[in-house]
Structure 1
Amino acid sequence: MTSLRFPSAYTILFAIIVCVAILTWLVPAGQYTTQMNESLGREVPIAGTYHEVDANPQGFEDVVLAPVSGFYDPDTNRVNGMDVALFVLFIGGFLAVVTKTGAIDAGIASAMKALEGREQWLIPILMVLFSLGGTIFGMAEETLPFYLLLLPVMIAAGYDSVTAAAIILVGSGVGVYASTVNPFATVIASDAAGIPFTNGIGLRLAMYGAGLVICIFYVMRYARRIRQQPDSSLVADMREENRKHFLASADQDVPELTGQRKIILILFLLTFVIMIYGVSGMGWWMARMSALFMVMSIVIGFVGGMNEKSFTDTFVAGAADLLGVALVIGIARGIVVVMNDGLITDTFLYWAEQAISGLPRVAFINVMFWIEVLLSFFVPSTSGLAVLTMPVMAPLADFSNVARDLVVTAFQSASGVVNFFTPTSGVIMGGLAIARVPYNKWLAFVIPLAVIMTLLTLAGLSLGVMMEP
């Protein structure tokens, strides 16, 4: 008899699409009246204007088209997840070219020799760096290239793929959780709430510091146990398979770190430096980042002495390796498409509005947090959730005598906690697919941490309310 196994990411996401489609038959359709917010450059809902509309239940055709619409909506000509999916494919090609030169294997061997006995300190250092990216500019999709850079290093050091995924997902995630100046969360939410984004930054900095310490301790504790007792790894059954997959030289002689390979590694790292600068300083997004990885692939292939056929074959094969990740991203976006087309997104927001109206101050901010948690499952985009909820929720805070900056903090911390594990996020599911970490294994790792971070948030929000005049 075949043993039962946890469904793949594709099955989980498609099942969620079906469930959301069923909800469009059961939940009343409704919409808020919207108005253009010039500073945000988009339509935002107006509090108190919710009204029911004719239902648009999603049927079989809508369900099967959802994964396609998750990439590109032909009815509105709107790009959904296609740009991110193409970015992932270009990353795959880029990394395959670099790996083909032997530079990564040689660099890993050299780094492990230099760090012998001190590998554990990579964890807090990298988590701090990723968290800064999260709190400053909402680092999310930009983390995807780092998986195939970090996974071989951590596995060669005696850790597992869960540890590598946690450094990236939890590191950047705790930064987004306590966003300070993140333009895609704090700034957009504050603007939609009608307040300066600097309001409440003291509490957010305190939550960032406390959350970062908790997350680093949590990941290091797991990593230390795995290194001492490899069989206790959540992916112990995949240990040898992952070593062969991520360490091309596991059963071969390690290539020498020649001058040519040193130049390639410098170009490799320079690519990431340019990407970070482009995103944070020049407003780059997926198209320009994809072009960057394509150009640097060509440069590295030339430096590595690859001929045209070898380069193109390697690049295409590398892109093919990450095709499954690209598909996960599109399917995840399809969930939001079905919910919006079924006209039930605003209905959930209206129910939330009714649930918190007139509550006492501490109860108001805590219930607000849980409502944002629920909505975050269906709207994993922080900027999308901010524009959807803040124009409605922020005015309600005035009636409960709660500062609007606390509503912003409740929104971003709820979104941050959920984005540690939500299956509707292409970044989460895509990252886990690259790291070859089954979703149920990731849940076993991260749910206790999410509970701890939730308790920290509730304490911080309650304290923030009580300290107000």
Structure 2
Amino acid sequence: MKLKFPSTYTILFLLTVLMAALTWVIPAGKYQMEMNDTLGKKVPQVGSYQTVEANPQGIVEVLMAPVQGFYDPSSYAARAVDVALFVLIIGGFIAVVTSTGAIDAGIAATMTRLNGHEKWMIPILMGLFALGGTVYGMAEETLPFYTLLIPVMIAAGYDSIVGVAIIMIGAGIGCLGSTINPFATVIASNAAEISFMDGFALRAIILVFGWLLCVIYVMRYAAKVKADPSASLVFHQKTDNEQHFLHSKSQQVLTLTGTRKAVLVIFTLSFAIMVWGVSAAGWWMGELSALFIGATIVTGIVGRLTESETTDSFITGARDLLGVALIIAIARGLVVVMDNGNITHTILNFAEGLLGGLSDIAFINAIYWIEAVLCLVVPSSSGLAVLTMPIMAPLADFAGVSRELVVTAYQSASGLPNMITPTSGVVMGALAIGRVGYSSWLKFTLPLMGMLSVLVMILLSLAVTFS
């Protein structure tokens, strides 16, 4: 019998069990925390780590972890229930828009207009998502775009991996090269007690070269799949994906009527308001959910749907993304187990001990890899900044490395695993929407992750050498 790679749910649950087992082995410990008025959060004090009473996590705690992860706010992340509810509402909204025929008609019109030039959508869209990543750390906000973009890519002759890659890797490289991202660069810089503009030039260079590398990588894969569909890593799902994403129950080509154009305007405007709300008005999941509830009602009215058509479509769309909502909760539960087991700070203290006595080049590259590993433990960029920068930044002074390089190493590292880490609800949720198995995604992304790591390490080493 052929072995099958486990599902996303199983992977996350097994990781939760593993972390619970580690709470029985890894010594429990805590840093003393002090209030940072600038950040408005408590941060660990350098050299204050001490062991505490162990709190090993058992089977009951493992089973409770997804529940706690669903509604318990941590010191560094929003509640998973807020994100999960947003995903369900988005699913309902997109289903209502789809039921008007506007999306299918829009896809058909787009394919007709591009007429063989679909490949140029890849750099343009990846550039837009990278802009969102570098400016405000676009992450959860990307989830609605998968349902919209993947059908376009499949209709263009590509596969679902191309659609997922454009969004996830596009936004990911933006986060990796964060220039003014308030949830990563600004928080990390404040925690390191420097200006967030320090190191801007190096981060911009990482952003540009990283984006170029990612675009070339995705375009080469897309061209290979279009020339030979069997080269797709998800070729075995080709027929099912076409039926699922292209709604190919009917071969009728829908025309882009005035009503459908109006629905697409509402659709586009809703996402424009979302971007403005997050970046300029400080909105988060509650406000965004309310936005799309209102947009759903307006779409139903403008699209001339009956009350039952609107509500039935909304419920069906929300049901389709229920698995994504559950994944977000399970992923957060893994972090709950580590925090409750008092091993998160122990892992950080171990990392602190690895950095002593290293040369400046070795130090900055060690910071990069330590942060990359810690990102698997703390998948929130702001949480990782608050937790690690108060420890890592002072250590840089002893190593003769500028603090802005430590901030750049942190954000480059935190942006990298967030494209592949199974502890991220955004990553696993996006793969669930795209119907891409985690093993297939790893096959696609790992070579790119290696190339990006080499690029960042070279640029960090050059910056240390010439600083």
Pick the TM interval, shorter chain: over 0.9
Counterpart of 1:280 in structure 2 is 279
SS of corresponding position for 2:416? helix
Question: For 2:256, what is the secondary structure of its paired residue?
Answer: coil
Matches within 5 A, 1:223-262: 223-249=222-248, 251-262=250-261
Identity of aligned residues (%): 58
Rounded to whole Å, the distance in 2 between the matches of 1:375 and 1:6 is 25
2:324 equivalent to 1:329? no
CA distance in 1, matches of 2:197, 2:188: 12
Q: By how many angstroms is 1:252 displaced?
A: 2.3
Letter of the 1:265 counterpart: L
Residues 1:216 and 2:210 are matched in the alignment? no
Distance in 2 between residues matched to 1:336 and 1:446, nearest whole Å: 24
1-structure distance, mates of 2:453, 2:371: 12
Quick one: distance in 2 between partners of 1:89 and 1:341? Answer: 29
Q: Which amino acid aligns with 1:400?
A: A
1:254 is displaced (CA, Å) by 1.6
Deviation at residue 250 of structure 1 after TM alignment:
6.0
1:346 match: 345
> Does the CA-based 8 Å contact 1:105-1:249 persist in structure 2?
no
In structure 1, distance between residues paired with 2:316 and 2:211: 38
Pair 1:157–1:74, CA change in 2 (3 A): closer
After superposition, the C-alpha distances for 1:218-259 in whole angstroms (9 at most, x for unaligned) are 000000000000010000000110010011146420222111
SS in 2 for 1:282: coil
Structure 2 residue 436 is the aligned partner of structure 1 residue 437: yes
Matches of 1:45 and 1:67, distance apart in 2: 26
Report the Cα distance in structure 1 between the residues aligned to 2:82 and 2:50, rounded to whole angstroms.
34
Distance (whole Å) between structure 1 residues aligned to residue 69 and residue 448 of structure 2: 30
CA distance in 2, matches of 1:361, 1:368: 11
**Is the CA contact (8 Å cut-off) linking 1:9 and 1:429 kept in structure 2?**
yes
Which residue is equivalent to 1:446? 445
- Distance in 2, matches of 1:394 and 1:250, equals 58
One-letter amino acid of the structure 2 residue matched with residue 56 of structure 1: N
Deviates more, 1:243-252 or 1:223-232: 243-252
SS in 1 for 2:112: helix
Partner of 1:153: 152
Matched-pair contact (CA < 8 Å) for 2:242–2:248: no
Equivalent positions of 1:30-429 (< 5 A) are 30-73=29-72, 80-249=79-248, 251-429=250-428
Match of 1:399, SS state, is helix
C-alpha distance in 1 between matches for 2:279 and 2:72:
28
Per-residue CA deviations over 1:20-73 (Å, capped at 9, x if unaligned) read 000000000000001111111110001010000000111111000111111113
Is 1:71–1:79's contact at 8 Å kept on the other side of the alignment? no
Normalising by structure 1, we get a TM-score of 0.98
Deviation per CA, 1:344-398: give whole Å up to 9, x if none: 0000111111110231111111111111111011111100000000001100000
Q: Distance in 1 between matches of 2:38 and 2:271?
A: 31
Structure 2 regions of 5+ residues with no counterpart? Answer: none
The answer to whether the 8 Å contact 2:93/2:296 transfers is yes
Amino acid at match of 2:155: A
Paired with 2:434 and 2:69, the residues of 1 have a C-alpha distance of: 23
Amino acid at match of 1:312: T
Contact 2:16–2:333 (Cα < 8 Å) also in 1: yes
**Shift in CA distance, 114/74, structure 1 to aligned 2, threshold 3 Å:** closer
Q: Which residue identity does 1:160 align to in structure 2?
A: D
What is the CA-CA distance between 1:80 and the residue it aligns to?
2.5
Question: Number of aligned pairs?
Answer: 466
Amino acid at match of 1:187: V
Q: Which amino acid aligns with 2:333?
A: G
Is 1:17 aligned with 2:16? yes
Contact 1:159/1:226 (<8 A) preserved = yes
Q: CA–CA distance in 1 between the matches of 2:288 and 2:12?
A: 27
Quote how far apart the aligned CAs of 1:117 are. 1.1
Q: Distance in 2 between matches of 1:74 and 1:416?
A: 22
Instruction: Give the Cα–Cα distance (whole angstroms) in 2 for the partners of residues 251 and 446 of structure 1.
Output: 35
2:86 maps to a residue whose letter is F
Using the alignment, how far apart are the partners of 2:305 and 2:326 within structure 1?
Answer: 30
The alpha-carbon distance between structure 1 residues 328 and 397, as it changes in their structure 2 partners (threshold 3 A), is: same
Question: Matched residues in 2 for 1:327 and 1:75: separation?
Answer: 18
> Aligned partners of 2:87 and 2:32: how far apart in 1?
37
Q: Secondary structure at the match of 2:451?
A: helix
One-letter amino acid of the counterpart of residue 247, structure 1 = L
Cα distance in 1 between the residues matched to 2:391 and 2:360: 17
- The letter for the 2-side match of 1:450 is M
Aligned residues of 1:72 and 1:79 also touching (Cα < 8 A): no
Mapped contact 2:136–2:183 kept (Cα < 8 A): yes
- List, as ranges, runs of 4+ consecutive aligned residues in structure 1 with deviation greater than 3 Å: none
In 1, Cα distance between equivalents of 2:193 and 2:465:
22
TM-score (norm 2): 0.98
For structure 1, the 5+ residue unaligned runs are none
Tell me how far 1:312 sits from its aligned partner.
Answer: 1.0
Equivalent residue of 2:364, what SS? helix
* 1:70 counterpart SS class: helix
Letter paired with 1:376? C
The one-letter code matched in structure 1 to 2:246 is L
Q: CA RMSD of the aligned region, Å?
A: 1.3
8 Å Cα contact 2:192/2:389 also seen in 1: yes
Secondary structure of 1:87's aligned partner: helix
Q: What is the letter of the counterpart of residue 260 of structure 2?
A: R
2:147 partner amino acid:
L
Q: Distance between the aligned counterparts of 1:431 and 1:63, measured in 2?
A: 24
Q: After TM superposition, give the deviation of residue 74 of structure 1 in Å.
A: 9.4
**2: CA distance, partners of 1:401 / 1:199:** 16
Aligned to 1:3: 2
